[in-house]
Structure 1
Amino acid sequence: MAALELFFSFLLLLIFFFFIPTRASCPPSSCPGGPTVLFPFWLQSLQPRRCGYAGFDLSCNNQTHQTTLSLSNSSGNNFVVQTIDYDLQTLIVNDPDHCLPKRFLDRSFDNLPDTMPFRIHSFKMYTFLNCSPQATSFPATARNISCLGGENHTVFVMPSREYDNWFQSTAPSPSPSPSSSGLSCAVISGVRVPARAEHELGVFEDPIEGVALTWSTPDCSFCGLNSDTSQIVSSDPKAERKGLPRSAKYGIIIGVGIPGILCILGLASYVCGRINAYGRRNRLNMDLSTSASQQPTIVVVGLDGPTIESYPKTLLGESRRLPKPNDTICSICLGEYQPKEELRTIPECNHYFHASCVDEWLKMNATCPVCRKSPEGSALVTPSSSISSSSTSLPSP
């Protein structure tokens, strides 16, 4: 039982040291409808401030339960965080009202302040047009922005270069706007739009997939804050990939550690058992020695040869007449007496037996086999007397 308790104690320690995350005080968290939040991000009111890096503040929307990010130069609502890729250090944000073009017009992404850790790699110029319902002839690259339109107007957007080419081809002479040339459209604004390489041409298609923001500081795919020094503890992802995966390391630790612990426990149990057995034997020998010294044992030894030969012998005749007619069986060998057999009688009790049987008996026991009386001349030997003391001889009858 003690060995089993020790084994479970070692197993709990193993789980604690190798499976509890190193930043146990900052466990992963998330909003009900958002991605998992790890360092360098932190969720306000759900995680301690030390769990995140400066500028990576996220929060949960109380109504939608979505994860939101605030950009200080944005005049609208916070952005919804759709995904976070910690390896590529990229997050995808979208407008909570599903109208990102509106956020492009208010230039939420145009010039991110230096206080923000997020950056956009590239931009592309787009021109927004406010057109009447009669305007129908547009280039193939023009997109109708339904969330910005209304009953009496429609908003279109196209790459600025495509707009310039289209305007020059449709206007007879340079004009400040398409509306003055009869195109029933007015330029709202030319804005910089974040360009995602794989979706540059379809960035305004429905649904819009979102804007990718990247960060470079802190530069690590797996890092955190040291709670003692408040310094960033990071590991190089390339260096991590050169070695064994973490799951493989845990597997090796478990595969080697648990059998090793079992061997140690088995060896310890065996040694403890041997020590306990040795102690019990020593205590038993000590108790026996003490008991023997306090209570002498009386040892009864058999008779010597001359004494035995001094006991009377009787030779049975053909009639097998016995001193006791009903006693016809030797009590030692349980055989019937036969003619011409020698019987020997013990003088003290007059019990008789085959001479050969009782002689062997008396050599080892100084008592009658039947009544257990000690014949005169037997020796009672104590530890203080000699076991080889001689017996007194009985006179011949």
Structure 2
Amino acid sequence: MPKAQETVLEIDLSALKQNFEYLKSKLRKETKFLAVVKAFAYGNDADDLALFLQDLNVDYFAVAYTSEGVALRNAGVTKPILVLHPLPVSFHTIIERCLEPSIYNTKVLKEFLDVATYKNQKNYPIHLKFNTGLNRLGFAEDDIESIYSKLQGSETIYVKSIFSHLAASEDLNEKEFTEHQIIAFKKIADAFTKVFDYKPMLHLCNTSGILNHPEAHLDMVRSGIGLYGFGNSEKENINFKPIAKLKSVISQIHHIEKGDTVGYNRAYKSAASIITATIPIGHADGIGRQYGQGKGFVIIDGKKAPIVGNVCMDMIMVNITGIECEEGDEVIIFDASHTAENLASAANTISYELITAISQRVKRVIKK
């Protein structure tokens, strides 16, 4: 068996390129591509991945918060960066670091306009977020006149794009709802163009929108989870390759007798003699307590080893009875074959939650 030394998240850039090229193959040549690299590029490594994607000629990047955009600028990212959920306290920083804010209500619009005016900006790019059914952030169509009244005659800022977010594009049972969102967004775009007398860039599709709703690709698409190797369906997953491999090592092996207990709160009581292995990864590393009590598992020598008892902060114990292994052997938490999606579903959650939770204390290794 392969030997290991520590817990490591290996990131495969060739898989990232493969996923990017597959998504690009779905688009018209003129449709721009925005890479979503928020949350450390979905728990991977935002700086290295963004620089790699920049070399692949991605057109745009998106982050959730201003601090994430600043980190990308510090790393050397020069492409436009959309901040999806900026807060007014960060508006000065946004302008200083040439980031582009999503503006989602009249209060935020007024505050950004005030800051941009104070900083003597001219034609500073903003992006207007419209709500078409997700009901999370965004203007309503009825707000267009109010937006126009605030921007009329101003040369301080200009609307570079208007966009919305699909709520259930991965669920074909919700196709009618998604189509309603697409129609609503196109109506908003038409109304905006009539009032403002120009057409900003339009974007609506996330990864599943790219795959399931080509009629809505418009001027640009946004992809996050697809870049990192997940197609949100069994049909599409075969076309993607997960870019991350989370692996660890067997620190110690224990022989547990019938009636013995394992871990905190004596949560596991053995009904027979078993063998356990202790692995240096726990809920402080992103493997939450919901994976305990046999729901979650790791792979050792190609076989599933279920988690025994409660997940500890820094360790898990797994049942290795019948598995040939020894201390120092490699342990796979997830990889391209035994995916994060499979592990997440065992605990009734989703791949997004698992991969974005991987702690920054876990060592990242970029495979070029």
TM-score where L is the length of structure 1: 0.19
TM-score where L is the length of structure 2: 0.20
Find the structure with the greater CA-based Rg.
1
Q: Which structure ranks higher in relative contact order (CA pairs < 8 Å, sequence separation ≥ 6)? A: 2
